[in-house]
Amino acid sequence: MDTVVIAGVGLIGGSFAKALKQHGIAQRILGIDRPEVLAEALELGIIDEPAAWDESVSRADLLYLAAPISGIMELLPVADALARPGALITDTGSTKVEICRAASRLAGRGCFIGGHPMAGKEIQGCSAADAALFEGKPYFLTPAAGQEQSASLQVLTQVLSTIGARTRVISAEAHDETVAFVSHLPQLMSTALAELLGRIPGMESAAGPGAVDMTRLAGSSYQLWSGILDTNVDAIRLALAEYVRQLSRIEAALGHPEMKKHFEDARKFARLLHKK
Amino acid sequence: MDTVVIAGVGLIGGSFAKALKQHGIAQRILGIDRPEVLAEALELGIIDEPAAWDESVSRADLLYLAAPISGIMELLPVADALARPGALITDTGSTKVEICRAASRLAGRGCFIGGHPMAGKEIQGCSAADAALFEGKPYFLTPAAGQEQSASLQVLTQVLSTIGARTRVISAEAHDETVAFVSHLPQLMSTALAELLGRIPGMESAAGPGAVDMTRLAGSSYQLWSGILDTNVDAIRLALAEYVRQLSRIEAALGHPEMKKHFEDARKFARLLHKK
């Protein structure tokens, strides 16, 4: 791959750039972001060249949109209009239905494949970028209907596998339902617990390791989450309803031997997850 | 303090023994447990002497009952019958109402003060014992009504403060309500999430760091939890009901600007907790 343009050189964009370099995948990496971010990314050797939107996109073989969801929605039409025909365009937005719907309305000069790396860190920004960020982590790809066998998808899958991601091709709808359970529900569970405990006097000084664990996600910023929650309301409602039903089954088992089965089933899943 | 007897030389009992030694608080530490546990504890230098129940308890200035709740309930009458008059008896049970009620029915040769250290580790057993386990952690003390100014409570508070615990005197009832929110609710939240995700195909391979965090507690063993849950059903029901109400307030805010306030309040509490 000759030229890769990364729009948004934060933790994800910066880590992708570093991983491409480490595996010798790209000849040249251009970055688009605020001037101070580009200066830092250049100094850290994450990008080769700071770039402006209009003069760089037409050079891209791969355009990687690593902005918040609202940013991706704004950049998509510009990216498609400026891309050279057949260029590969992908994004990293945490929900996919609205983004893929917007992409499907474009002229389609570039070839768009939605993406979502399930990787992150508590620290943001390109100074925290890490070439190994995607290693062993799920990376969803949501091609448009009919694009599941396209050459573009094959190329993107190849690149992501090389940098260690476990790619998974899925429809945008199934993706958003899955992440409602596996990501948005855990976030809201933690937010709800922290808000509840914060309202009751004395809870902070009584909290042990369990409460500390379960309120860690509650430290996430709303700015990061608002775009995610706003674009996945229906699927999140469904996940919350299922979760509340599960809680009431567990409540019904309080003081009864059936509780054992709940603990055993839960432990089985927890062990699967934590040995990774 | 001359002689301390630790009944149950696991993670908590072993860590308490080590902390007493490190701070030069006890002349001699006797341990009661299964022979193989005592052999290990002796080899690790955690106890000075393996002991049998009937010949050791009468020598104790302090008797530390660090067994599961059901074990504590069985040991209490024996301990009280064998203790020398005025000996200090305390326990480490995670719920306090039932234990303190049982203690109040005893003849009262020893002086019993309920205790609950909010400290733990994922690994159990005396090989994981750590003299610093209690440092900076909450340690609840639940004296019987009228005992809040007793010399025994003062002595115990002094010992626990010396080994770094943050002691907090509270009624058994208030204790059980507090831990229902701060410990039992987080455990059941995690159990419910892991069981729910385990039932839906594909969730394990899609899980990112958020789901991993929020299902960590679900790995806890039922054996450890059954005694806790069974002795605190009412308070746990109350906490679950409050939590479900909080979840539905958050659900109502999905797609609305009010969500910002939920995230901000939650983050405030999370930051308080995590800077510790």
Structural domains in chain A plus CATH codes: 3-170 (3.40.50.720), 174-274 (1.10.3660.10)
Question: Under an 8 A CB cutoff, do B211 and A265 touch?
Answer: no
The interface predicted TM-score of the complex, written ipTM, equals 0.89
Q: What is the mean pLDDT of residues A209-215?
A: 93
Q: What is the CA radius of gyration of chain A?
A: 21
Instruction: Write the CB contacts of A54 (distance below 8 Å, at least 6 apart in sequence).
Output: A82
Q: Tell me how close the Cα of A273 comes to any Cα of chain B, in angstroms.
A: 6
DSSP character for A57? Answer: G
| pLDDT tier at B55, thresholds 50, 70, 90 | confident
Q: What is the CA radius of gyration of chain B?
A: 21
Q: What is the pLDDT of residues B154-170, one digit of tens each?
A: 999 999 999 999 999 99
- Look at residue A147 in the predicted model and tell me its pLDDT: 87
B180 pLDDT higher than 70: yes
- Look at residue B94 in the predicted model and tell me its pLDDT: 95
Chain B CB contacts of A214 below 8 Å: 186, 189-190, 213-214, 217
Q: What is the pLDDT of residues A27-77, one digit of tens each?
A: 999 999 999 999 999 999 999 999 998 889 999 999 999 999 999 999 999
B181 touches chain A (CB under 8 A): yes
Q: What is the mean pLDDT of residues A219-246?
A: 96
Out of A166, A185, A254, name the one closest to residue B236 (CB): A254
Q: What is the pLDDT of residues B189-212, one digit of tens each?
A: 999 999 999 999 989 989 988 999
| pLDDT tier at B188, thresholds 50, 70, 90 | very high
CA distance A218 to A215: 5
A276 pLDDT higher than 90: no
Question: Under an 8 A CB cutoff, do A192 and B120 touch?
Answer: no
A238 touches chain B (CB under 8 A): no
- Look at residue A110 in the predicted model and tell me its pLDDT: 87
Contact A90, A115 (CB under 8 A): yes
Q: Tell me how close the Cα of B1 comes to any Cα of chain A, in angstroms.
A: 29
- Average pLDDT, rounded, for chain B: 95
In this structure, what are the phi and psi dihedrals at residue B121, rounded to the nearest 5 degrees? -150, 165
Helix (H) / strand (E) element for A115: namely strand A111-117
Question: Under an 8 A CB cutoff, do B207 and A166 touch?
Answer: no
Contact A99, A93 (CB under 8 A): yes
Q: Which residues in chain B (37-76) have CB-CB distances under 8 A to chain A? A: none
- Beta-bridged to residue A168, according to DSSP, are A140
Q: How far is CA B130 from CA A17, A207, B20, B46, B49, in A?
A: 43, 20, 11, 10, 19
Q: Tell me how close the Cα of A85 comes to any Cα of chain B, in angstroms.
A: 33
- Look at residue B121 in the predicted model and tell me its pLDDT: 73
Q: Tell me how close the Cα of A195 comes to any Cα of chain B, in angstroms.
A: 4
Distance in angstroms between the alpha carbons of the first and the last residue of chain A: 31
Chain B CB contacts of A243 below 8 Å: 192-193, 196, 247
Q: How far is CA A104 from CA A89, A98, A109, A143, in A?
A: 13, 10, 11, 10
Question: Under an 8 A CB cutoff, do A118 and B207 touch?
Answer: yes
CA distance B230 to B85: 32
For B105, the 3-state DSSP assignment is: coil
Q: What is the pLDDT of residues B103-158, one digit of tens each?
A: 999 988 889 999 999 987 767 899 999 999 999 999 999 999 888 889 999 999 99
Out of A208, A214, A218, name the one closest to residue B190 (CB): A214
- Average pLDDT, rounded, for chain A: 95
Helices (H), A60-111: 69-82, 97-104
Residue % of chain B over a pLDDT of 70: 99
Chain B CB contacts of A266 below 8 Å: 190-195, 198, 215, 218
pLDDT top residue among B27 and B54: B27
A94 pLDDT higher than 80: yes
- Look at residue B148 in the predicted model and tell me its pLDDT: 86
CA distance A131 to B253: 37
- Look at residue B276 in the predicted model and tell me its pLDDT: 52
A145 touches chain B (CB under 8 A): no
Chain B CB contacts of A220 below 8 Å: 263, 267
State the pTM of this model.
0.89
Q: What is the pLDDT of residues A189-209, one digit of tens each?
A: 999 999 999 999 989 989 988
CA distance A106 to A91: 15
B272 pLDDT higher than 60: yes
Chain B CB contacts of A225 below 8 Å: 263
B201 touches chain A (CB under 8 A): no
Chain B CB contacts of A237 below 8 Å: 251, 254
Question: Under an 8 A CB cutoff, do A266 and B233 touch?
Answer: no
A108 pLDDT higher than 90: no
Q: What is the mean pLDDT of residues B263-274?
A: 96
Please give the distance of CA A18 from its chain centroid, rounded to a whole number: 17
A95 touches chain B (CB under 8 A): no
Contact B90, B65 (CB under 8 A): yes
Question: Under an 8 A CB cutoff, do B215 and A274 touch?
Answer: yes
Residue of A195, A220, A222, A242 to mutate, testing the B interface (most B Cβ within 10 Å of its Cβ): A195
Neighbours of A148 (CB within 10 A): 11
Question: Under an 8 A CB cutoff, do A218 and B182 touch?
Answer: no
Residue of B137, B269, B276 to mutate, testing the A interface (most A Cβ within 10 Å of its Cβ): B269
Residue of B167, B187, B212, B215 to mutate, testing the A interface (most A Cβ within 10 Å of its Cβ): B215
E-state strands within B119-245: 138-142, 166-169
- Look at residue B260 in the predicted model and tell me its pLDDT: 98
In this structure, what are the phi and psi dihedrals at residue B73, rounded to the nearest 5 degrees? -60, -35
Residue % of chain A over a pLDDT of 70: 99
- Look at residue B146 in the predicted model and tell me its pLDDT: 84
Q: What is the mean pLDDT of residues A140-163?
A: 94
Out of A119, A166, A186, name the one closest to residue B193 (CB): A186
Out of B137, B183, B214, name the one closest to residue A211 (CB): B183
CA distance A93 to B22: 53
Sheet bearing B166-169, strands edge to edge? B49-50, B28-32, B3-7, B62-65, B88-91, B111-117, B138-142, B166-169
What pairing do the DSSP bridges indicate for beta strands B49-50 and B28-32? parallel
Residue % of chain B over a pLDDT of 90: 88
CA distance B157 to B87: 15
Amino acid found at B193: L
Out of A237, A243, A273, name the one closest to residue B215 (CB): A273
